[in-house]
Structure 1
C-alpha cells in the first residue's frame, strides 16, 4: 500500500517551507504568484490531497466559491463561467456551479444550500431576486457579487444592457428602418431582457417612433424561440423591415426561419442580435450583433471575488465595454 503524500513531501519538492505550502493551500492570494505556482506544481506532481475539513477548520475557509446562473443551456453563460473557474483554480479555489431555470424560488433554495456548504463567496446573475434572497445575502458575513447587470445593493460587474440594445437599434435606424420588431427572451425574472427592450424603446423614441405592441414578442431563449418569434412578427398586418433579437440564439433562429420562409436576409429583412457567439460568425449571412466580452466578465469577476475574500475593497459597480459588430444580416431598408 502506497504511503500517503504529506505536506512535508510537497515542501521538499517545491523547495519551500511547510509553512509556505500551508499558506498557498489556505490563503493563496497572500503568496507571490511564482511561489504559488511552484507549490501547486509540486501538489500536482505528487498528487497531494489535502484534508479539506482540516484546511477549512484551520483557515476558516473552504476554498470554494458558489456561482448560481439562470441556465446551463446557453454558451454565453458557459464562456463566462469557464473563465471564472480557470482564474479561481489558479488561486487554489474550486467553483461550484448551480442553475435555477429563471425560477426565483429554486434560486433561493440553491443559494441557501451553497451558504450552508460554507462557500467563501457567492456569484449571482442579474438583479431579479426574491426579497428573501436579498435579505439572506445581506445577513451573510461573506462576499456576494452580481454579474451581467449592476445594482447598488451589491458589488456588481456587468453590462449596460439598455445601452447595448439602444446601439443595435440606432444601427438599424441609421440604415433607414422605421418598422423595427423585437424578439425578446422571456422577461419574467430576467432584468437583462427587460432592459434590452427598454433600450430599443429609447432609441425609437429619440427617432419619434414607438415600439408597437404587435412588433414585440417574448420567446424562450433558443433557436426555436427565434423561429417562432420570426413567424409571429411576419404574420402581423405590417411586418417589420428589421428585427432586434434579445440574444444571438434568437437571432440565428429568426434568420434560419426567414430563409425557410423565402424571406431574403438582408435584402428584405435585417436581423440583429446581441452576444457575438460562435454562431454569429458561422452562419450565412453573418449576424450583425453587439459583442459582449463574456470571458473578460468571468475573469474580472473571479479576481474581484479573490480580492473580496482577502478583505480588500472592490468597486461597487463595474460596467464592461461592448461594441457593434456589423456583418451581412443587416442592410438598408428595402425600397
Structure 2
C-alpha cells in the first residue's frame, strides 16, 4: 500500500537534496542553464527525472513577479460567437507566452466585479471584458490595481477602456436596409432582453425611423424565438420579413416557421446577426451580418500582449461587419 508521502509532489528542496546542490543552483538550472556547468546540469536533471519533479508556476511567479495569466469575463459560453472569440484569443495569447483564464458573468455587472476580483487574486495581469456596461465597483478595482483592461464586442472610441469590437448599431442598420431594399416594409424585429445587454440595446437603436417595425423581446434561445413567432402570427400576420438581432433567434425562428409550414423566403424572409457556423448549414441557409469574432480574438490578444509586455496602451479598434447573403431572403 502506498504511503501518504509517496503522493506528495516533489519540490525544489527535494531536487537539491537528491542532486547534492543548493536550491539556488537548481533554480539556475531551470531558468538560466547556460550559467551552470554541464556536470551539474546532468546531476540536477537526473534528480528531476527520478523524483518526477514538475516546476511550479506559482513558485516561478513569486520569484519573477509575473504569472503571465490573462482573465477574460464573458456573459456565457453557451454561444458559438463567444466560443469562436475565446478560441482565437486563447490561441494567440498562447503564441505570446500568456495563459487565459475564463469566467462567465451571465451579463450581470455585479457578478462580473466579483469574478474580476477573483482573477486579480490569482494574479491576472490583464482583464478582457464584453461590452461597455460596468459597475462602479469594477471601475474602482481596475483603478486600484492599475489593471490593463480591454472591452470587446463593442466599439466606442470614447470609452474609458480601450474597445476592440463592432459598431453594433451599424450592423443592425445594415441588415434592415438590406430587407428594405428587397421591398419589405412590414418587418418584425426579434431581440433578446435589453436590460443588461448593451450590445442588444445598440443594435435595437440602429433601427429607428425606417419602415414599419414590430418589436418582439424574448429570451436568446430557440424556445424564445418560437414564442416570438407565435406572438407575431397572433398580432401582425401581415409581416413579410423577420430581422433577428442574433443568429440564435434566427435559427429558432427558422425551426418554428418550418413547423408552421411557412415557406422561406417565398412567404417570409429571415435575416440574423452573428454568422454562426450553423447559419450557413441550415436549410435554407440564413442571410446574416457577419461579426468577425476570430479577428476580434486575435486583435485583442495582440493588444493585451503589447500592453502587459511593453506598456503600449491599445488604440480603440473598429472591426468591420459584413452582409452575408444566403437563401433565407
TM-score by length of 2: 0.82
Q: Tell me the residue number matched to 1:254.
A: 253
Whether the 8 Å CA contact 1:144–1:155 is kept in 2: the answer is yes
* 1:41 aligned residue: none
Larger mean CA deviation between 65-74 and 308-317 belongs to: 308-317
Give ranges in structure 1 of 5+ residues lacking alignment: 20-46, 331-335
Shift of 1:313: 2.3
Q: CA deviation at 1:73?
A: 0.7
Correspondence for 2:46: none
Q: Which residue of 1 aligns with 2:81?
A: 76
Flag the 1:98–1:176 CA change in 2: closer, same or farther, 3 A: same
Say how many residue pairs are matched: 292
Give the secondary-structure state (helix, strand or coil) at the position aligned to 1:251.
helix
Aligned positions of 1:1-335 closer than 5 A: 17=34, 49-151=54-156, 152-201=159-208, 205=209, 207=210, 209-211=211-213, 215-330=214-329
User: How far did 1:4 drift?
Assistant: 6.1
- Unpaired runs of at least 5, structure 2: 1-5, 17-25, 37-51
CA distance in 2 between partners of 1:243 and 1:8 (Å): 65
Q: Residues of 2 paired with 1:7 and 1:159: CA distance?
A: 46
| Distance across 2 between alignment mates of 1:270 and 1:185 | 20
**Distance in 1 separating the partners of 2:147 and 2:137:** 17
* 2:69/2:99 contact within 8 Å kept: yes
Report which of the two structures shows the higher radius of gyration computed on alpha carbons. 2
8 Å contact kept, 1:233–1:239: no
Identify if the C-alpha distance between structure 1 residues 53 and 309 changes in structure 2 by more than 3 Å, giving closer, same or farther: same
Residue 200 of structure 1 aligns to a residue in which SS? coil
TM-score of the superposed pair, with normalisation by structure 1: 0.81
